[in-house]
Amino acid sequence: MKKKICTETSIAERLQEFLDKEKMNLDVVTETDGAVEVMKCAEPKESNLDVIYAGGWITCEIARSMAKKINISFGQMGNLLNHLDVKIRHCSLGCFK
């Protein structure tokens, strides 16, 4: 069964196209039943295990835990974070290649 990412309608289609292109086994939904939520933020904000703030930042430790939570590789997680313009802080070098 595919894991789900919940996001706003305005970015759902573009995000699903990216996930399909990258062959990530994830579905984008606009209801609140996703394993992780993707939200836009006006100012850079720290993402956590449940929410990715597009344009914000995330620690390496949380990004690794989130990748395991949604069952994707660290490399795929890095690609997803790059797509969402999320910066990785306190990085263990090389995790997301």
d(CA 73, CA 86): 17
Give the burial class of 16: count Cβ atoms within 10 A of its Cβ; 0-12 exposed, 13-18 middle, 19 or more buried: middle
What's residue 2's pLDDT? 82
pLDDT at residue 97, rounded to an integer: 61
pLDDT, tens only, 23-82: 999 999 998 777 899 998 889 999 999 999 999 999 999 999 999 999 999 999 999 999
Q: Look up the domain containing 17 and give its range.
A: 3-89
- To the nearest 10 degrees (0 to 180), the angle between helices 9-21 and 74-83 is 140
State the pLDDT at residue 81. Answer: 96
d(CA 87, CA 47): 10
CA 92 – CA 77 distance, rounded (Å): 14
Q: How many domains does the chain have?
A: 1
